[in-house]
Amino acid sequence: MSTLDLPLPDVDRPTDAERFTDAGRAVLLTLAALSVGLAIHVRDGEYWDSAIRWVGVALAATLAAVLLPRLPAPARRSEWAGQFALAALLSAVVYQFHQLLQSPPSGWNEWSDDLVDKSAGNLQLYKVGVTAAAALTLITLLASLAARRAWWAIPFSATLVAHLLLGVWMVRSAPTPKIDVFVFQQEGARALLDGRNPYAIQNPDIYAGTPQAADRDVYGQNLSSGGKLAFGFPYPPLSLGLSTLGYRAAADHRYAQVVAFTLAGAFLGFSRPGRWGALAALLLLFTPRAFFILGRAWTEPFVVCLLALTVFCAYRLPRLLPVALGLFLASKQYLVFAVPLAWLLVRDPRDWRAALKLIGGALLVAAAVSAPLILWDLKAFWHSAVTVQQVAPFREDALSWLVWYFHKTGVKPGLWVAFRATVLMLLLALWLCPRTPSGFALGLAAVYLPFIAFNKQAFANYYLFVIAALACALGTLRPERTPAARPPAHESVRP
């Protein structure tokens, strides 16, 4: 028997009531992930009335998924509910493929359209790739019905290859995106390879003298002067190291992000092997603005990959869970709220020893991978990676409810709205979310969606992380009947 044929664990085998509840939660999470994807699809992740309404739908669906109680149900009803949830997930994936084929691969707007090669032949390659991925998705579903259940892995793996090739196509077709994060990561990688401290360099201000700089305040006060920015690399050391790998290998850090994004789909799809996990992974990989985000060089693909790796290790490689969790926590500044949520990865809430072992070990890993570059020049790091984020201005183009309120009243609300909503959802998630890897991912989505949606800066890259958390929560649910097997890996977090 192939390892992909191994059934789910005996202890983790869901009852009819659990499957019925998971099916209901799956429909809500599918709606939430699709809604966030459509929100950033409207105007490339910037504010628009219809886009913020989609964010509202996602907020409501995610909150409902957290609040959903265990629902009693007979076997027949749970079977029907599982089939309905699968149909909803498949419909969402198919609809996303339709959106990809009907939309430009790069930005909708002139300022966000970085595509250089717009020849008919090059665009045809993109459409062929998306069509092939859609066909392979349907084959994956059909293969899951075969006598050997592991056959689904063959077309699913081929779909991952198609995603990887489409990502490479995007990078090659948009070699010089007009966005500062591309410059930050290219210059940071170059400085690191040259032996210079990336946090102490001065980046060029590519917006100086452009209409973008005239229309909006891009950076904080006194951070741009004479075409130069008064800060260096603005992201954590782990992100710098990963982007440097792409720059060193192919002179463009985005290749590392392409690989990371595809790996995220692989980790999620194989966390709980089968059609359910595969479809959830494809919901993430083929969200309508997926390749636009890759082309724009944002760092979130690294965060998404490490989140999926954490979920994968929770099920398949529990001994490595503290390492994966630590790498995830070290990948982005805003992940501080993920630390208490990691408690959901410990099955027994009273087992403080196991919680300390997991979370303490993860924090040690995060410190170990970050400390060398931080201590190289602590002052430069703090200024570039922390202070610059703190003084970032209120963006009137952010896809945020604060911007909606500003457009209606002319008043710019304070950040207290985002932090109050975040703390409230954090407490709610720790109280109500299941103590499973799926519950951990659901908690992340429930906390970070309002944190972003009520923040002063909220764009496509931040929302991609939310989509990933929703997909990880969705892909590791159990709405379908499965046979029994060995004990669940994530229980072995205990010492």
pLDDT of residue 495: 33
CA dihedral 391, 394, 397, 402 (to 10 degrees): 130
E strands present in 370-486: none
| First-last CA distance in the chain | 30
CB 461 within 8 A of CB 45: yes
Q: pLDDT of 294-303, one tens digit each? A: 999 999 999 9
How many Å apart are CA 301 and CA 260, to the nearest integer?
Answer: 6
Which residues in the chain land under pLDDT 70?
A: 1-12, 73-76, 147-149, 213-215, 481-495
pLDDT of residue 148: 65
* Cβ contacts of 42 within 8 Å, gap of 6 or more: 48, 50, 51, 54
Question: What are the C-alpha distances in Å from 181 to residues 246, 261, 397?
Answer: 15, 17, 17
Cα angle for residues 341, 346, 351 (degrees, 5° grid): 115
Q: pLDDT of 15-68, one tens digit each? A: 777 888 899 999 999 999 999 999 999 999 999 999 999 999 999 999 999 999
Phi and psi torsions of 46, nearest 5°: -100, 170
CB 355 within 8 A of CB 346: yes
**In Å, how far from its chain's centre is CA 261?**
9
pLDDT of residue 389: 92
* Structural domain boundaries enclosing 250: 3-493
Count structural domains, the chain.
Answer: 1
Q: Is the pTM of this model over 0.85?
A: yes
CB 43 within 8 A of CB 59: no
How many Å apart are CA 284 and CA 33, to the nearest integer?
Answer: 8
